[in-house]
Chains A and B, each alone.
Chain A
Amino acid sequence: MMQNQLEIKVRDAAGAIVFDLVGDLTENAEKDFDSAIKPRVSPNCRMVMNFSRVQYINSSGIALLIAFITSLQAAGGVLRVYGLTPHFQKIFEIVGLTQYLRIDPDETHALDPATA
């Protein structure tokens, strides 16, 4: 499968940092995670990932998320995601990611601290 390099756009919204992911989440995104996402982790930060323009996630992409979520949790931060296809919602559940992050239906819900 031809993979599309992941692009990460960062913006602030309602006291959270939102990462709009565009492309494929695979091992090729390791450096982008290291440069665009990890430096934003701070104590008790709130982060949101928008997966609505992610076409493909492979097992390496899942591993990247695991590595990220465990370091985020160590800093007391939280991650919420939205825009995931039903298939990848199930994959997140199977590998146990849903114990560490919350899947929301859309950005409004993801940014709402009351639903955390």
Chain B
Amino acid sequence: MKLRRTTYLLLFLLSAFFIMMSCEKVLMEKNPPNDPMGNFESLWKTVDERYAYFDYKQIDWEGIYLEYSLMINDGMTDTELFDVLGAMLNELRDGHVNLFAPFDISRFTFNYMAPENFNWRLIKDHYIGWDYRVTGSIAHAIIERQGMRFAYLRYSSFSNSISRADLEYILESVEDTEGLILDIRSNGGGSVSNIYMLGEVFADIERHVYTTRIKTGPEHNDFGNIREVNMYPDSNLYYDKPVAVLINRGCYSATSIFSLAMKAFPHLTLVGDTTGGGFGAPAGYELPNGWAYRFSVSQTLSPEGENFENGVPPDVAVWMDPEDELNGTDNILETAIEILSR
């Protein structure tokens, strides 16, 4: 009797186990088809539902589907598929959009529209010399002109972290200057946290510097609430004299966001060329064949709600003149010195 009951119980448990396993098999979805059209569909649909700038850039994504789907066929090689998918993504005209395959990375070259407008060798040869200091990730020196002293700070990548101790040392060493030139030209961006670390050096009072909103649904205009981002003053870490921020087309992503944030401070002037833009935070995804890709899923707007995705314009627009450059003159830097000398 007892043995029979035990057998029934074990059978019951075994049945329960197999029923659960079967439920899992039914409930868990299968992997999507890993063929050229399956990968194309997956990419197109994900971008369609998540990319943040269709309306702003007036991109006809449906039309792009029709155009590029005709190029997909079952017999195409991985390289051919990569080229078609990469070209389709480049229709978004966004430096934050890439397709990563084991053999190549597709990219949109955002800064081809203007000259480089930056020559680091020229600055070293003709303005700051070769014995400038490097504190943390910031190179700095003093430029003297007509009895006036200007601090020159070069920050080449927002990927390089900045510490409070670095900034304390730099501010102490430029205390007796009449103005500060912050050169962030050709800084391709990096970590947003460095925006606050560096930017708050110039914060006189708490200021609303930009707003962000992120995609929250599949429609092109499905965005969540606007979030305000503020910068806060720190009386022990504050540069109160005039500041010129040098920008060019190579200022992208976090550097563009920094440039926009600096517009909130009245004693700062942006000098140079329009930045490269790239205000959307890029999120990463994956295709059924394992290739990764990324694109912008958020928007960053000015406090007034203006969208600068295609670049932040300078307060004073200047380009480097190739002839002057050959003669050792950086027109953008010269303009900054002129502004600070006033």
Q: Do A and B come from one complex?
A: no
Residues of B within 8 A of A (CB): none
Residues of A within 8 A of B (CB): none
